[in-house]
Amino acid sequence: FFFLSLLAGAGDLTGDPVGYVTGALAVLVHAAYLVLIQKTSADSDYGPLTAQYAIAVSATPFLIICSFASMDSINVWSFPGWKDPVMTCTFIACIFFGCAMNFTTLHCTYINSAVTTSF
């Protein structure tokens, strides 16, 4: 996988250092997230759906504060794409697939391990 990462990075001609740092941080945060989920699942009788609920409840206040601080929650209503039904359906599909991705990630980590899920 490291080789594939290098190969993919070689095709990136922009060489933006902020992008590479952000990518490295994303990998580290995701690894920590999976290990935390694995540790929590071993110590708990609750399942992945309960974990997803707990993550959503604990993350929502922080995300609301960030959305108002960045003005995204205010500017979203002036987006002209909302008049296009394809855009609205795409947005709803993205929400559905994001929830499904998070649940399947949690479920796989609960059943297997953080290493298996990362593969």
Query: Taking residues 93-114, what's their average pLDDT?
Result: 87
Residue 96 scores a pLDDT above 90: yes
Say what the pTM is.
Answer: 0.64
Q: Are 107 and 48 in contact (CB under 8 A)?
A: yes
| pLDDT tens-digit map of 25-51 | 888 888 888 888 888 777 777 777 787
Q: Are 52 and 102 in contact (CB under 8 A)?
A: yes
Residues counted in the chain: 119
Q: What CA–CA distance (Å, rounded) separates 67 from 3?
A: 37
> What are the two backbone dihedrals, phi and then psi, of residue 88, each rounded to the nearest 5 degrees?
-65, -45
Sequence letter at residue 104 = T
